[in-house]
Structure 1
Amino acid sequence: MPHPVDPVVPPHVSVPGQMSHREIMEALSGLLLAMFVAMLSSTVVTNALPKIVTDLDGSQTGYTWVVVATLLSMTATTPIWGKLADLFSKKLLVQSALVIYSAGSLVAALAPSMSVLIGARVIQGLGVGGLTALVQVVIASMVSPRERGRYSGYIGAVFAVATVSGPLIGGLIVDSPLGWRGCFFVGLPFALGAFVLLQKTLHLPVVKRPVSIDYLGASLIISGVSLLLVWVSLAGNEYAWTSGTSILLVVLGLAILAAAVYVELRVATEPIIPMRLFADRTISLATLASVFIGVAMFGSTVYLSQYFQLARGMSPTKAGLMTIAMVGGLLVSSIVSGRVISATGLWKRWLVGGMFLVVVGLGLLGTVDETTHLALVGLFMAVLGIGLGATMQNLVLSVQNNVAASDLGAASSVVAFFRSMGGSIGVSALGALLSVQVADKVTSGLTGLGIASDGHSSHDIPDLSTLPAPVRGVFEHAFGASIGELFLIAMPCALVALVCIMFIKEVPLRTSVSLADEVAPEATEELQTR
């Protein structure tokens, strides 16, 4: 399907709304701080989760759902935020997302139980979904794809800083008198700073046109995805995979999603996910790759904090320090790839090479257990980080390069949506699998020690410091071996993403913000002879 374009604009005519480098950097300061808030919301809590779940009398399923709740609401609302960005003020939307995130953080910080905490994480996810989608959309509306790699490097750097500092800050807070509740307060000053900075620096034209929001499509998408995630996270633990409950959830979830596709295709005037976008091969393959990247990335790395704290007996602070290896690789590769792509306009080699390293990194991490030398674990994490840094931002860039300005929000959020959905599926499925594997290994280990184990204790997340040495060894082996196996399960998903990326056709990056500004030579000559 040909791309929709606006009337041809001669190359010598300046494009309204074009921003200078200084103006872009001023606006980018607030956007990057907002992105830092979004990333910090998940990373700062990572090393606190074992302590949180222990204090609130949670289980492995509860641990999983503290993560999944945010991912789910972020996933379900990302395309909605993206669509709203095509219709309303982008600055107002980013600021609204910051307010929603802050409200969720306050509730989470005061949560008296696991159920309240999970509900608060849903609210946080609504805000994070907006920040994640809108920052990409706003940058795309200011900067051409050719130059966007340069600015995407800054996003990668902020992502890396938040990912490095988050676990460290979280670990220090958990080990301090503030306790784990302080982890939810720490993002509030940054959110306030981002709000004020955006008010001063971000000035974009607001699109004024008739608005029709697809509430039905949005509701169906959220409902269908939610049912499938509930099924994938609870099956095998709360009920059998082949039980009537399991079958009902799958059938109902798929039926609702099928209805959502019909609504998007036939009913909605302004669909949340414009299905015509998938007529473009790059968008279709990038979307499919995003799903499997999400499964591999979120599904495997979210349990690293459990590996370091429960299999290696580290404190939250030390567990945070261990993430530097992976995020250091991500930081270097995101900045370097962004700079080189801006200089050359060529991006596919970075996607292919990065995804190959993700596959290798997951395979290497699949060999770890509670006895693996920590230097090797750090090396394996660095390989994975380098691969992710060269892949994540640049995959969005390849999609943005292929759509008209009017579809930037929807197209960018579609990629983010499917990556987050893959992450939600990965965290849910691998978390359910981890729960079963750990329970089996703990039961077997305790039986070997002559200790009777009930089902409840084998599913609990223990406080290792309170356990006798032999029992502690059983839990360390159970978590170490089981988490290592998760990486091996995630590796085929990364391999599928690699195959998808290899079939994406490389289109040289545009040097203008909009497809409408790309002028065919014959059209230019015709205009100049008039």
Structure 2
Amino acid sequence: MSAPGAAGMSRRELYTLFGALMLTMLLASLDQTIVGTALPTIVGDLDGMDDYTWVVTAYLIATTASVPLYGKLSDLYGRRPVILTAIVIFLVASALAGLAQNMLQLVIFRGLQGLGGGGLITLAFTVVSDVVSPRDRGRYQGFFGAVFGISSVAGPVLGGWLAEVDWRWIFYINLPLGFAAMIAVNQILRRHHFPTRPHRIDWLGAACLVPAVVSLLLAVTWGGNDYAWSSPQIVGLFTAAGVLTAAFVLTETRAKEPILPLRMFKQGTFALASVIALIFGVGMFSGIVYIPLFFQMVRGYSPTESGLLMLPMMCGMVLTSVSSGFVISRLGRYKWFLVAGSIVITSGLWLFTNLHVETPLWLSSAYLLVLGIGMGMFMQPLVLAMQNIVKLEDLGAGTSTNNFARSLGGAVGTAVLGAVMTARLDDELGANLPGAVAQLTPEEAAAFGASDLSAVMESPTVVAHLPDPVREVVQQAFTDGLDRVFLVAACIAAVTVVLTLFMPNLTLRSTQASLEDDPDAKAAEIKAETSP
């Protein structure tokens, strides 16, 4: 079996396809960030304060759980029908979310959006890997990293602006862009044959995997917030996740067409890259979630303004993602970009442990630039490492494994670091807030006592209007809590530095031939993995 290369397409077709794939990735990644700043407006319009977090959580859970399924389905049925199905699901759900009349409807349609979004991201990487050899893939996939950087900044800003116009356009805006991407992908891929093979869907594996992921994500989402970590609900969810995961692994060893072929993990490079992707998600993505919190809760900026303040990170990420992609394609090797990227990411997270209430804006911007540079250097080489090693028949499953591990790590890490920050906040506020309240006038103390402290924890507007002694304590508590978060995140990211040093320094293949079918490449891999 052979896959088409870039030579099978005209330059115009390749660039058109690549642009359409970037657009589909932008839609999916933007929807992870665009809703957050508009949530207060949406909640006020639909009167659903009790369910507001589920607007984000439903999308995250559905996206993470569906990623491995899309990878395997595209290996069996071909890329074009599966990616078109994902786009259709995403667009239908976007239209329904825009028409939602209550919070329950919106949460359900956001979950449906996530089912489509999980396919958009992983299949975009996979389709590029079908038409471009690993050696040349870096220069194209580097732009995908730029898409993630743009969405991380554009999402909050665009969401805040559309919330002031009409929040329903947050979802409607996907329709014209999605239709354009769907037409381009369909027109180009239909003219090029992507081989498939006789297939049998692993229904039992899917029945174990999806509820296992959902149980784990619900446990880390609810734990410490809706329920205590030791509560029967959380313990039960973790137990269910463990049992279902064990059942999934057992099922995959017996399935003829497993969703996640365990044979891929026999390759040392693939197994190591999967672990790195998981830890990368825990340390890096979860750390980034809390940077806007510093700008909002400590410095008093609005969500939209905090999104704009993330621009240095986006610029660093776009710059190094694109440039490193071209350099990797020229050199044909990726290991030392992973090592350097992990070092820079760890350094950037450690720099954020030095934040304080009076930190100059230019200094925090410099920290963001460092973090963005590391992210751009790291993300795409990791995908290339996994794609370079797997068989062509497992290319979709291998690519989706990287995205799945990274998303799962980010979801779990965000919850874990959230617990770290909450514990620190409780300690700081418990120790210092009573003394601050004692300094207030009777009128100020009465007004503060009537306020809802949970609202203080969620709204930068409330923090900005607190009496001076109380505001200073709250801001310092958040600063100390965030310092602890970034310290833990930096320690986790440091693990990736060690792991990337053990990555073999393989040469990216210049053809689409499978590594397993290329004796010279296989021998080089064995030599690289066994050499000191």
Q: 1:103 to 1:306 in 2, by over 3 A?
A: farther
Does 2:52 align with 1:94? no
SS at match of 1:366: helix
For 1:363, the equivalent position in structure 2 comes to: 350
Deviations along 1:218-253, one digit per CA (max 9) or x if unpaired, are 221121122222222222333333344433322221
More displaced stretch, 315-324 vs 238-247: 238-247
Q: Is the 8 A contact 1:217 1:264 kept in 2?
A: yes
For 2:198, the equivalent position in structure 1 comes to: 210
Measured in 1, the distance between the counterparts of 2:516 and 2:222 equals 50
Measured in 1, the distance between the counterparts of 2:401 and 2:146 equals 23
For 1:495, the equivalent position in structure 2 comes to: 494
For 2:505, the equivalent position in structure 1 comes to: 506
For 1:187, the equivalent position in structure 2 comes to: 174
Percent identity (aligned): 37
For 2:389, the equivalent position in structure 1 comes to: 402
More displaced stretch, 95-104 vs 137-146: 95-104
Measured in 2, the distance between the counterparts of 1:16 and 1:479 equals 51
SS at match of 1:212: coil
1:383 to 355, 358, 370: 370
Q: Is the 8 A contact 2:424 2:480 kept in 1?
A: no
How far 1:397 sits from its partner (Å)?
Answer: 0.3
The aligned amino acid for 2:454 is S
For 1:277, the equivalent position in structure 2 comes to: 264
How far 1:478 sits from its partner (Å)?
Answer: 4.1
More displaced stretch, 485-494 vs 276-285: 485-494
Measured in 2, the distance between the counterparts of 1:250 and 1:301 equals 26
More displaced stretch, 429-438 vs 419-428: 429-438
The aligned amino acid for 1:415 is N
TM-score between the two structures when normalised by the length of structure 1: 0.87
Q: 1:102 to 1:375 in 2, by over 3 A?
A: same
Measured in 1, the distance between the counterparts of 2:206 and 2:500 equals 28
More displaced stretch, 494-503 vs 425-434: 425-434
Q: 1:423 to 1:216 in 2, by over 3 A?
A: same
1:238 to 200, 221, 226: 226
Q: Is the 8 A contact 2:283 2:493 kept in 1?
A: yes
Measured in 2, the distance between the counterparts of 1:484 and 1:110 equals 41
Deviations along 1:359-379, one digit per CA (max 9) or x if unpaired, are 111111122244322211111
1:26 to 8, 13, 16: 16
Deviations along 1:181-232, one digit per CA (max 9) or x if unpaired, are 4333333322122112222333332434322111221221121122222222
More displaced stretch, 484-493 vs 80-89: 484-493
Does 2:240 align with 1:252? yes
1:136 to 116, 125, 141: 125
Measured in 2, the distance between the counterparts of 1:453 and 1:289 equals 48
Q: 1:317 to 1:231 in 2, by over 3 A?
A: closer
For 2:298, the equivalent position in structure 1 comes to: 311
Does 2:215 align with 1:227? yes
Q: Is the 8 A contact 1:45 1:183 kept in 2?
A: yes
Runs (5+) with no aligned partner, structure 1: 1-5, 523-530
For 1:429, the equivalent position in structure 2 comes to: 416
Q: 1:16 to 1:181 in 2, by over 3 A?
A: closer
Deviations along 1:289-309, one digit per CA (max 9) or x if unpaired, are 011111123212123333323
Measured in 1, the distance between the counterparts of 2:119 and 2:259 equals 14
Does 2:312 align with 1:325? yes
Q: Is the 8 A contact 1:156 1:389 kept in 2?
A: yes
For 1:3, the equivalent position in structure 2 comes to: none
Measured in 2, the distance between the counterparts of 1:343 and 1:297 equals 28
SS at match of 1:42: coil
For 1:47, the equivalent position in structure 2 comes to: 37
Measured in 2, the distance between the counterparts of 1:101 and 1:211 equals 25
Deviations along 1:12-32, one digit per CA (max 9) or x if unpaired, are xx9798334433222212111
Aligned length: 507
Measured in 2, the distance between the counterparts of 1:58 and 1:431 equals 20
Runs (5+) with no aligned partner, structure 2: 438-444, 522-532
SS at match of 1:87: helix
Q: Is the 8 A contact 1:171 1:320 kept in 2?
A: no
Does 2:23 align with 1:37? no
For 1:155, the equivalent position in structure 2 comes to: 144
Q: 1:493 to 1:112 in 2, by over 3 A?
A: farther
The aligned amino acid for 1:103 is V
Measured in 2, the distance between the counterparts of 1:151 and 1:244 equals 48
The aligned amino acid for 1:394 is P
Measured in 2, the distance between the counterparts of 1:301 and 1:438 equals 19
SS at match of 1:134: helix
Q: 1:244 to 1:171 in 2, by over 3 A?
A: closer
Higher helix residue share: 2
Measured in 1, the distance between the counterparts of 2:6 and 2:342 equals 38
The aligned amino acid for 2:111 is V
Measured in 1, the distance between the counterparts of 2:457 and 2:168 equals 21
Q: 1:426 to 1:16 in 2, by over 3 A?
A: closer
Give RMSD over aligned pairs. Answer: 3.0
How far 1:440 sits from its partner (Å)?
Answer: 5.6
Measured in 1, the distance between the counterparts of 2:425 and 2:377 equals 33
SS at match of 1:158: helix
Measured in 2, the distance between the counterparts of 1:62 and 1:395 equals 35
Deviations along 1:263-310, one digit per CA (max 9) or x if unpaired, are 0112x2211110111000111000000111111232121233333233
Q: 1:16 to 1:125 in 2, by over 3 A?
A: closer
For 2:321, the equivalent position in structure 1 comes to: 334
Measured in 1, the distance between the counterparts of 2:456 and 2:226 equals 12
For 1:526, the equivalent position in structure 2 comes to: none
SS at match of 1:43: coil
Measured in 1, the distance between the counterparts of 2:329 and 2:316 equals 20
Q: 1:452 to 1:164 in 2, by over 3 A?
A: closer
